[in-house]
Amino acid sequence: MARVVGFEISSQDPEKAVQFYSTVFGWEMGEPNWGFWPVKSTGPAEIQGGISKGPHDYPHGTRIQIEVDSIEDTITKAVDSGALIVREKMEFDKFYLAYLVDPTGVGFGLVERK
Q: What is the CATH number of the domain that holds 68?
A: 3.10.180.10
Are the beta carbons of 83 and 102 closer than 8 angstroms?
yes
Q: Which residues constitute the domain of residue 47?
A: 3-113
| pLDDT bracket for residue 62 (50, 70, 90) | confident
28-41: per-residue pLDDT in tens? 899 998 888 998 76
For 106, the 3-state DSSP assignment is coil
- The total of structural domains in the chain comes to 1
Chain segment 44-53, per-residue pLDDT in tens: 666 789 998 8
Residue 96 and residue 112 in contact, taking contact as beta carbons nearer than 8 Å: yes
